[in-house]
Amino acid sequence: MKAHASTKAIDLTEGNILRRLLQVSLPLMGTQVMLMAYNLTDMFWLGRVGSDAVASVGTAGMYVWLSVAFLMMGRMGAEIGVSQQIGKKNPEEAQAFSENALMLSMILGLLFAVFAFFFRHPLIAVFGIQEAHVAYDAALYLGIVAVGTPATFLSAAITGVFNGAGVSRVPFLTNGLGLILNMVLTPLLIFTFDFGLVGAAWATVIAQTVVVILNILVVRVLPTRPFPKLRLFRRPNLARLRQIFRWTIPIGAESAAFTILSMFIGRFVAAFGADALAVQRIGIQLESFSWLIAGGFASALTAFTGQNFGGGRWDRINRGTRISLYCMIVWGVITTAIPWLFGRQMFALFVQDEAVIQEGVRLLRIHSICQLFICLEFWAVGLFRGFGKTVPSSVATIVGNSLRVPLSYALSLTALGVAGLWWGIALGACLRAIILVIWYIRYARKLPKGTEGLAVA
């Protein structure tokens, strides 16, 4: 097969670096904000139902987070494989990695859906929730959203294909349409049809299904799709699958460990009652604005680094590293200040209970200390993944999050009470970031210096 002259990828090995990074990252960040908006839409309307509903959905959401460990294998396999092969000017191989990643995503999504649906009650029982009705509703919600898991997995892999090719605007638009549909359906099903929590679950599933249909259409027929003949179903290639697993098993382990260790902390929070669970769940969603934006920029940095690594453009990698570092620092400072200035207004959007709001403000202010660290962590993650090095972030995440479990528990036994849990989470995040940034700096010293100086200024 000859190289596809019609391959529609954005060449990140040429042009102004900041402009290229923004060209790819802005739609990615918009997509990440939409992901946050999906969750906040549910929290906003369920907050009108009551804090118990928020606690139920938040608890079930822990397993949605766990599914990300497997979702990321398909998405990052596509993202890394496509970016590096496009950088090498090898579109046939880039397409082959895409097709294997898509097949892997569909299989993993189906397996996780079956697991979550049939084991929903024992999975929720892990948290030891004191209120029986909260636990029952959490299992009900989990069973419904499990139905949409295969669609979510396939959409993520297609997003990875577009991101690796630098064409991030397309998934931004498809996810945007899904978000609009979710925002319309959620209050309609919760209140107008009086489905309550069940309505929120089905609104999410319907929106996810529409998004995957749109993504399949664009990857097959859109004139600006990365590859003209991308196949969703093809015989897997063992060599490429092995390479995808080498890249993504550390990423999956990192994400799974993060969620599982968070579940331990969730059990600690549950001991303080449903209000504490509601505070944590809403707080997580509000905080996600910071790290989802940083994650979107990190994905752009992965595509940029991957293409330039594949093309041997070390001068651009070195300059891009510095420019992206400055961008992450600015965003870290902004997201540190926002919780202090607007924490009360942010929490009051979702609950009316004054005690919950006050505790929520305390959580946001404590967690603000780690926002800059988290942004620097994503900077290092994006660079490492562009090089195909996924072990460092996995090790740093697992170590940092493992330490925050005993730290959170110990602090919660002091006079701090539930605030000790918030402090433990924040300190663990800072430690995780410090480990990874130092690791990258040491790694960067061994890289070719190119024509523009060191990889880290």
Give, for all 457 residues of the chain, the pLDDT tens digit: 333 434 556 788 888 888 888 888 888 788 777 777 766 777 778 777 776 887 788 788 888 888 988 998 999 899 889 988 988 888 889 889 999 999 999 999 999 999 999 999 999 998 888 788 889 999 999 999 999 999 999 999 999 998 888 888 888 888 889 888 988 999 999 998 989 889 999 999 999 999 999 988 888 887 777 787 778 777 888 999 999 999 999 888 888 887 888 788 878 888 888 788 788 878 887 887 788 888 888 988 988 998 899 888 898 999 999 999 999 999 999 999 998 888 888 888 877 778 888 888 899 999 999 999 999 999 999 999 899 888 888 888 888 888 888 999 899 899 898 889 999 999 999 999 999 999 999 999 888 875 443 344 3
Domain membership of residue 290 (yes or no) is yes
pLDDT (0 to 100) of residue 243: 93
Cα(334)–Cα(341) distance, rounded to whole angstroms?
11
Query: What is the chain's length?
Result: 457
Class of residue 221 by CB neighbours under 10 A (exposed 0-12, middle 13-18, buried 19+): exposed
Cα(109)–Cα(111) distance, rounded to whole angstroms?
6
The type of residue at 317 is I
∠ CA 308-389-25, nearest 5°, is 50
Say if CB 28 and CB 159 are below 8 A apart.
no
pLDDT (0 to 100) of residue 142: 96
Domain membership of residue 136 (yes or no) is yes
pLDDT (0 to 100) of residue 8: 59
Tokens of 85: 């092969």
Tokens of 47: 């907050």
Helix (H) or strand (E) holding 242: helix 238-270
Domain membership of residue 132 (yes or no) is yes
Domain membership of residue 457 (yes or no) is no
Cα(276)–Cα(364) distance, rounded to whole angstroms?
13
CA 144 to chain centre: 21
Tokens of 407: 């730290």
Domain membership of residue 2 (yes or no) is no
pLDDT (0 to 100) of residue 455: 40
Tokens of 371: 């926002």
Tokens of 81: 């494989």
Neighbours of 223 (CB within 10 A): 8
Cα(178)–Cα(436) distance, rounded to whole angstroms?
35
Helix (H) or strand (E) holding 439: helix 418-444
Tokens of 280: 């944590």
The type of residue at 251 is I
pLDDT (0 to 100) of residue 168: 80
Domain membership of residue 453 (yes or no) is no
Q: CA quadruple 203, 206, 210, 212: dihedral positive or negative?
A: positive
Domain membership of residue 345 (yes or no) is yes
pLDDT (0 to 100) of residue 456: 40
Cα(301)–Cα(25) distance, rounded to whole angstroms?
8
Neighbours of 190 (CB within 10 A): 24
Domain membership of residue 7 (yes or no) is no
Residue 226 domain boundaries: 17-444
43-57 burial: b if 16+ Cβ within 10 Å, else e:
bbbbbebbbbbbbbb
Cα(419)–Cα(401) distance, rounded to whole angstroms?
17
* Overall domain count for the chain: 1
